[in-house]
Amino acid sequence: MIVLIVIHLMVVIALIGVVLLQKSEGGGLGVGSTGRFLSSRGTANVLTRTTAYLAAAFFATSLALSWIAGFERKPSSILNTGAPPGQSQPAPTNAPPAPPGGGGLLKELQGKEGSPPPGGPQVPQSQ
Q: Which of 18, 15, 105 is nearest to 55 (CA)?
A: 15
The number of angstroms, rounded, from the C-alpha of 117 to the middle of its chain's C-alpha atoms is 38
pLDDT digits (tens, 9 = 90+) for 17-28: 999 988 776 655
pLDDT in tens, 72-118: 777 777 776 655 555 555 555 675 665 555 666 666 676 655 555 56
Q: Is 54 exposed, middle or buried (CB count within 10 Å of its CB: 0-12, 13-18, 19+)? A: buried
Q: 96: buried, middle or exposed (CB in 10 Å: 19+, 13-18, 0-12)?
A: exposed
